[in-house]
Amino acid sequence: MCIGIPMRVVTGNDFVAQCERHGAIASISMMLVGVQPPGTHVLTHLGSAIRVLDDEEARAIDDALAGLAEAVEGRDFDSLFADLLDREPELPAHLRGE
């Protein structure tokens, strides 16, 4: 299983950016997404930014990761998945028999 981690660009150049998540700074390759201004959220995997995220999507991924950590610890995690609680699961379009 692969997990992408959302991070926020602090500073960078054409190839590498210093990105922050929860106070930790890491050097992230920007080769796949190009130069991004400070404050931009990017989805990272294995030291590379793989996609630019908007603020809402970055927060949703962060909440999901926090929810997984809470579940592993046996604590309540429903509030971190609020966007999923009041709706039925939906199959992706390619799996629907429409």
In a domain? residue 34: yes
Instruction: Note whether 55 and 42 are within 8 A (CB).
Output: no
Domain of residue 46: give its range: 5-82
pLDDT per residue over 59-70, tens digit each?
999 988 998 888
Classify residue 96: in a domain, yes or no. no
Please tell me the pTM assigned to this model: 0.78
Please report the beta strands in the chain, taking only residues with DSSP state E, as ranges in sequence order.
5-12, 16-21, 24-29, 41-45, 48-53
CB 65 within 8 A of CB 85: no
pLDDT digits (tens, 9 = 90+) for 24-79: 999 999 999 999 999 999 999 999 999 999 999 999 999 889 988 888 888 888 88
Residues found in the chain: 98
Decide the pairing of beta strands 16-21 and 41-45.
Answer: unpaired
Q: Where residue 50 sits, what CATH number does that domain have?
A: 2.30.30.140
Tell me, yes or no, whether 45 lies in a domain: yes
Separation of alpha carbons 27 and 85, rounded Å: 36
Residue 11 counted as domain residue: yes
Domains held by the chain: number: 1
CB atoms inside a 10 Å sphere around CB 30 = 19
pLDDT of the residue at 87:
81
The pLDDT-based confidence of 80 (bands split at 50, 70, 90) is confident
Q: Is residue 97 part of a domain?
A: no
